Amino acid sequence: MKILVIGGAGTIGKRIVEHFSKDHQVLVAGRSSEEYPVDIADTRSIKKLFKKIKKQGRIHAIICAAGEAKWAPFKDLSEADFHIGLRSKLMGQVNIVRYGHKCLKKKGSITLTTGVLADDPVYQTTSAAMVNGGIHSFVQAVAIEMRRQIRVNVVSSGVVMDAYGKYESYFPGHPPIPMDRMVMGYVKSVSGRVNGEIIRIYI
């Protein structure tokens, strides 16, 4: 398969890239990628990426492991702060589906990324949790409308082992998710038949 991984240089993305590169051709996109630069908070940038990809030939799968949201106590979050998550993690991933599906072969797949905050939020995550929940509902709804048997799923994992040192104090009582367990969520979406599924990996 030819698979595009947006955010493929990140903590989660690089493990996804490592796994799929064993048997597939993987294209890595991100803000600092030289070959496939993209800022998912900027619609024009997403359109430009998919125009380039389509010119090179349709691909089998798109994975997004990128997207930001502001973390702060609810009382301190301004409307502009909420817009960071809405523009990047929410509309960024919605736009990846809006424009990305045109680059896919028949029966291709799109896999988005959210996280445990959608179901089990912690302090300072009203914006991040809201955006994750929005993507979950979006995925369930958009899967009904995809044509050419294209599938759309989302992987929602707990704090991953490689980031646990950084986030442990924010997630009391949350078990860290082994990296290979997290990667299996993406394998289920890309190589399996599931569609419109929220693939939860919380233990």
Binding footprint of ligand NAP on the chain (CB under 6 A): 6-7, 9-13, 30-32, 38-41, 65-68, 88-89, 113, 115, 157, 159-160, 163, 167
Residue with CB nearest ligand NAP?
10
**Smallest gap from residue 128 Cβ to ligand NAP (A):** 7
Residue placing its CB nearer to ligand NAP in the complex, 118 or 142? 118
d(CA 157, CA 176): 9
Residue placing its CB nearer to ligand NAP in the complex, 89 or 101? 89
**Smallest gap from residue 203 Cβ to ligand NAP (A):** 14
Residue placing its CB nearer to ligand NAP in the complex, 105 or 181? 181
Helices and strands, number each (H, E), in the chain: 7, 6
DSSP 3-state assignment of 161?
helix
Residue placing its CB nearer to ligand NAP in the complex, 123 or 149? 123
**Smallest gap from residue 197 Cβ to ligand NAP (A):** 16
DSSP state at residue 178: P
**Smallest gap from residue 65 Cβ to ligand NAP (A):** 5
Q: Are 198 and 139 in contact (CB under 8 A)?
A: yes
Residue placing its CB nearer to ligand NAP in the complex, 61 or 117? 117
Residue 102 has, within 13 A of its CA and on its CB side, a CA count of 14
Q: For the sheet containing 2-6, what is the strand order?
A: 25-29, 2-6, 59-64, 104-113, 151-157, 198-201
Phi/psi of residue 61, each to 5°?
Answer: -150, 150
**Smallest gap from residue 157 Cβ to ligand NAP (A):** 5
